Amino acid sequence: MNKTKIDWCDSTWNPVTGCLHGCEYCYARNIAHRFGGFTELEDTDLDYEKICESNIAEIEKPLKYLNDKGKIGKSAYPFFFKPTLYRYKLNEPQKWKKGRNIFVCSMADLFGSWVPDSWIEEVFKACEKAPQHNYLFLTKNTDRYARDTTYQIF
Ligand code: SF4
C-alpha cells in the first residue's frame, strides 16, 4: 500500500492493476509500461498459456525484476497493463492499524467487464477484514459497480 499525493485519499492500494478501456489520456498505462515487466530469475508456477488465452493474469507471489543497475526488486507491473490480480497484496489493508481513506485500484478499473467476479469478491472480502478504513472506488462501469455492491455511489 502506498502513500499518495492525491489529496482526496491517504493511500492507494492496488491488488488489481491493468485496464482495457483504452483511454488515450491514461496516466496509469504510461506508469505500468514505464515500470513494468519482470525477469524470470527463478521458477514460477505461472501458467503462461492460460494468461495469453484469457488476457488476464493472477499471481500468488511477487515476481522479481532485475533493473538496468543490476538491482533485484519486486516487479510492480510484471505484465505491464494487462489486467492482473496480485493475491499476495490482498492482506495489505489489515497491516495498517490506523484508519485511512484508501483509493482501491488506482491503476485499474476493478469493475471493468473483463474482471472476473471472483476478483471483485476477493477484494471486497479483503476490505471487510480491515473495517478500520474507508475504501474509495473509481470506475467507468458504474452499472456493474451498482449491481455488484451494496455500497453507496457518490
Ligand atoms: S479507465 Fe482509467 S485506468 Fe482505464 S484506461 Fe481509462 S484512464 Fe486508464
Q: Give the number of domains in the chain.
A: 1
Q: What is the pTM of this model?
A: 0.89
With a 6 A CB cut-off, is 130 part of the ligand 1 pocket? no
Parent domain of 68:
2-151
Q: What is the pLDDT of residues 60-100, one digit of tens each?
A: 988 888 777 888 888 889 999 999 999 999 999 999 999 99
For the chain, the maximum distance between any two Cα atoms, rounded to a whole number of angstroms, is 47
Q: b or e along 89-104 (b: 16 or more beta carbons within 10 Å of the residue's beta carbon)?
A: bbebbeebeeebebbb
Q: What is the pLDDT of residues 8-38, one digit of tens each?
A: 899 999 999 999 999 999 999 999 999 888 7
Q: What is the pLDDT of residues 133-153, one digit of tens each?
A: 999 999 999 999 888 766 544
Best mutation site among 109, 110, 144, 145 for ligand 1 pocket (most ligand atoms within 8 Å of CB): 109
Mean pLDDT, range 117-123, rounded to an integer: 96
